[in-house]
Structure 1
Amino acid sequence: MDEYRTLARAGVHEIEVNRSRFRCALAPAADEQAARDFVARVGREHADASHNCWAYVVGADAAVQRSGDDGEPGGTAGLPMLQMLLRRDMRYVVAVVTRHFGGVKLGAGGLIRAYGGVVGEALDAVGTLTRRRFRLVAVVVDHRRAGRLQNDLRAAGRVVRDVRYGEFVTLELGLPDAELEAFGSWLADATAGTATLAVGGEVFADAP
C-alpha cells in the first residue's frame, strides 16, 4: 500500500429513506481507542435513536477493521458501512450512522443500501485527502548554500518538511523511493557536490 485516503476533517451528513433518518458522523481516528471513544460518544449523544451503527478502519494497511450493527439485522448495517470505507481506500477513520426509525421497514437490501450509501455520501460531503508513502531524507549543507538550495527545492516542487540550524543546515524532505537516485544526482549538481544526503525511514504524508 503506497497510498491511502483519509478524512479532510470531521463532519456529519444526513439522509432520509422511507421516513427513517440516517445521520452519518465521520471523524479521524489515529488509533483503535480513538475510534472506540468516538463510537461511544456518538452513542451517548443519540441514546434516544433506534440504532447507532458503526465501522472503523485503522492503519495504513487497514490492519484494524471493525463494525457493529447495534441491533439491526446482522450484516445489514456495520458491514456495508465498513465495506464502503474500504472501497474508498479510507484509513484512520471512524463512521457512526444514527438511525431514527420512521415506521417503514426497509428490508435487508434497503438497510444495506441506506447504511452504505449514507457513508459514501458523507465522505463526498466532508472531503478526503490522499496520503502517500515517502522516504525521509536529510540534506546537510553549509549555511552559504542553504538559502539558495531551499529556493531551488521549492522551484523543483519539493516540500521541505523541517529545517534545523547548527554548524550546518539540515533540510528534511520526503521522497518516493523511485526518485532517490535522481534526487541525489540533482543535489550534487545543485551544490557542487558539497551537500550530503542521509536516507531515513518511511512516512505517510499528504500528497501535493
Structure 2
Amino acid sequence: MSFTLREPAHAELVIKKSRFIACVQPVDGRAEAQAIVDGLRRQHPGAAHVCWALLAGGQSAAVDDGEPGGTAGRPMLDVLRHQQLEGALATVVRYFGGIKLGAGGLVRAYTDSVAQALLGAEKVPRQRLQLLRASVPYALEGLLRREIVAAGAQLQEVRHAAQVTFTLSLPEAQAAAFQAQLTELAHGRLAWLDAR
C-alpha cells in the first residue's frame, strides 16, 4: 500500500553551520512540483542550493541543484520510497555555512532533513479511485444524491437534460457493490454510462 501526505510538514537542521530547511508535501505531478521549487528559489534568493525529490503519478525526480552528483536528490528520493510515499515532494533549501561536509556528510544531511520533516507529517493511505457515470430520471435525483453521500463518494459533476447525469468517483474496491446497490434501488431506471 502506498501513502501520501495530508498536508505539508517542515523541519530545519543546522549541521556545521549550514542550514537545511526541509519540507515534504503532497503534489499531483511534476508541473506542480516545479512551480513549488521555483517559488522556493524566489523565496530564498541567498540559498546555495534548492534540492528536491519527487514521487508522483509514476513520475520521479532527484535534483541535486549543484551539490555533488547523488548527494542530495537521490538520498531524498530514497527516503520517500522507503516511506512508501506517492504524490509527494521533498525539498531542502541549503544555506552554506562555510564548512564542507563531504559526500557522506551531505548524504546524511539531506536524508536526515527529509526524515525529520516526515516525523511531523501525517501519512494517509492512497486509494485508487474509479470514475462512474449514471443517468436517471429527475424523480430519482434525490435518491441518487443521498446514496452518493452515504457511500462517501465524491460528486464530480451533475448535468440536467432529458435525464440527470451524475459523474462521481469512489474507491475502486467499493465501485462494483455501489453500482449493484444503485441498480437495484432504481428498479431498472438507472443507466450506467461510459465514464470518459
Which bin holds the TM-score, normalised by the shorter protein?
0.7 to 0.9
Contact 2:26 2:88 in 1 (8 A): yes
* Partner amino acid, structure 1, of 2:50: N
Shift of 1:33: 4.1
Contact 2:154 2:170 in 1 (8 A): no
Distance 2:115 2:157 in 1: 36
Q: Aligned Cα RMSD in Å?
A: 3.0
* Partner amino acid, structure 2, of 1:53: C
Q: How many percent of aligned residue pairs carry the same amino acid?
A: 36
Structure 1 range deviating more: 162-171 or 34-43 = 34-43
Distance 2:81 2:179 in 1: 37
Question: Where do residues 4-43 of structure 1 align in structure 2 (5 Å cutoff)?
Answer: 4-10=2-8, 12-26=10-24, 29-43=27-41
Give the 3 Å change call, closer, same or farther, for CA 171–15 of structure 1 in structure 2: same
Q: Residue 78 of structure 1 aligns with which residue?
A: 73
Distance 1:169 1:140 in 2: 6
Q: Given the two structures, how large is their TM-score scaled by the length of structure 1?
A: 0.73
Distance 2:47 2:175 in 1: 53
User: Deviation string for 1:75-98 (max 9, x for gaps)?
Assistant: 221111121223334344443312
Question: Where do residues 88-127 of structure 1 align in structure 2 (5 Å cutoff)?
Answer: 88-102=83-97, 104-127=99-122
Q: Residue 54 of structure 1 aligns with which residue?
A: 52
Contact 1:135 1:199 in 2 (8 A): no
Distance 2:173 2:87 in 1: 26
Q: Residue 197 of structure 1 aligns with which residue?
A: 192
* Partner amino acid, structure 2, of 1:55: A
Show structure 1 runs of 5+ residues with no match.
Answer: 202-208
Contact 1:54 1:94 in 2 (8 A): yes
Q: Residue 165 of structure 2 aligns with which residue?
A: 170
Contact 1:135 1:200 in 2 (8 A): no
Give the 3 Å change call, closer, same or farther, for CA 88–187 of structure 1 in structure 2: same
Distance 2:140 2:55 in 1: 45
Shift of 1:42: 2.3
Give the 3 Å change call, closer, same or farther, for CA 173–14 of structure 1 in structure 2: same
Distance 1:156 1:42 in 2: 40
Give the 3 Å change call, closer, same or farther, for CA 109–176 of structure 1 in structure 2: same
1:147 to 104, 127, 142: 142
Alignment partner of 1:90: what SS? coil
Q: Residue 206 of structure 1 aligns with which residue?
A: none
Contact 2:152 2:170 in 1 (8 A): no
Contact 1:22 1:100 in 2 (8 A): yes
Distance 1:112 1:14 in 2: 16
Contact 2:127 2:172 in 1 (8 A): no
* Partner amino acid, structure 2, of 1:38: I
Structure 1 range deviating more: 187-196 or 29-38 = 29-38
